[in-house]
Amino acid sequence: MPGTRQTRQSLRQTVVEGIKGYILDNRLRPGDPLPTEPELCQALGASRSSVREAVKVLNALDIVEVRHGHGTFVGRLSLSALVESLTFRGLLSVEDDVQVLSDLIDVRELFEHGMADRIVAALDERQLDALDAVVSDMKAQADSDSVSTALVGADRDFHALLVAPLHNDLIAQLSLAFWDVYAVVAPHLHGFGPEEAAEAAAAHKEIVEAARAGDLDRFRAAVTAHYAPVRSRLAAAG
């Protein structure tokens, strides 16, 4: 019955909010254990079935983590659900996902422009050398038969390393979300071959060199130049 289903969903959501409230009220952190199922039932005044359904919802959102045989714990609170949703949308409709990817480019470029001073200041010689190593890998990939796929992986590694010194999990996860969605869309983008791969490697090299020089204007210009060809390919595919 529609009314019964609606009541059940409402009850489940109430228990979901109850568990979230318990985590906040008790200042639990990722990895901390939650009470047992009977204890949650008692604390929330809910049935076992309602608690189990609520835990399933929260587990899918990475708010809690169920470790079979060990119990339920506060999850990593990551953006995995967002990444899954964006990636699946790309599988359903490339046209829709081109717009999603374009929006993500705006967000990524905004991060790297807006936090340029912090990124440049935080990168040390070891991290800059690691970025240079990825650029060298990009140059080697330019002659690969699967240049597009290979470059996506290298590009993903580069930008993960670029923002890692910020120690900002949200930015790091959104950075990876961008490239995970891009990996779905990339095979449908035309006009990408060895020449474009070599240009991409050069653009990334310029980002590293600007960071080494501590030149913020040059760094921001290099970031813009890096994203320009991606925007062009997306415009052609849209």
Rounded-to-integer distance, Cα 194 and Cα 141, Å:
8
Number of domains in the chain: 2
**54 and 88 assigned to the same domain:** no
| pLDDT tens by residue, 126-185 | 999 999 999 998 888 766 655 556 677 788 899 899 999 998 877 887 777 777 776 666
Q: Which two tokens stand for residue 33?
A: 């254990």
**178 and 211 assigned to the same domain:** yes
**108 and 205 assigned to the same domain:** yes
**139 and 217 assigned to the same domain:** yes
Q: Quick one: residue 47, left, alpha or beta (phi over 0 = left, psi -120 to 50 = alpha)? A: beta
Q: Which of 54, 74, 94 is the last residue of a domain?
A: 74
**150 and 47 assigned to the same domain:** no
**55 and 115 assigned to the same domain:** no
CATH number for the domain harbouring residue 179: 1.20.120.530
Q: Which two tokens stand for residue 52?
A: 């189990």
What residue numbers bound the domain in which 67 lies? 2-74
**89 and 68 assigned to the same domain:** no
pLDDT at 11: 83
pLDDT at 184: 67
pLDDT at 221: 95
In tens digits, the chain (238 residues) has pLDDT values of: 455 555 667 888 899 999 999 999 999 999 999 999 999 999 999 999 999 999 999 998 889 999 988 899 999 877 777 767 766 665 565 556 677 777 778 888 888 899 999 999 999 999 999 999 999 988 887 666 555 566 777 888 998 999 999 988 778 877 777 777 766 666 665 555 677 778 888 999 999 999 999 999 999 999 999 888 878 877 776 6
pLDDT at 104: 74
pLDDT at 146: 55
**208 and 184 assigned to the same domain:** yes
Q: Which of 24, 43, 74 is the last residue of a domain?
A: 74
Q: Which of 74, 108, 130 is the last residue of a domain?
A: 74
Task: State the DSSP string of 4-66.
Answer: HHHHHHHHHHHHHHHHHHHHHHTT--TTPBPPPHHHHHHHHT--HHHHHHHHHHHHHTTSEEE
**134 and 191 assigned to the same domain:** yes
**87 and 70 assigned to the same domain:** no
CATH number for the domain harbouring residue 69: 1.10.10.10
pLDDT at 103: 77
**197 and 157 assigned to the same domain:** yes
**118 and 177 assigned to the same domain:** yes
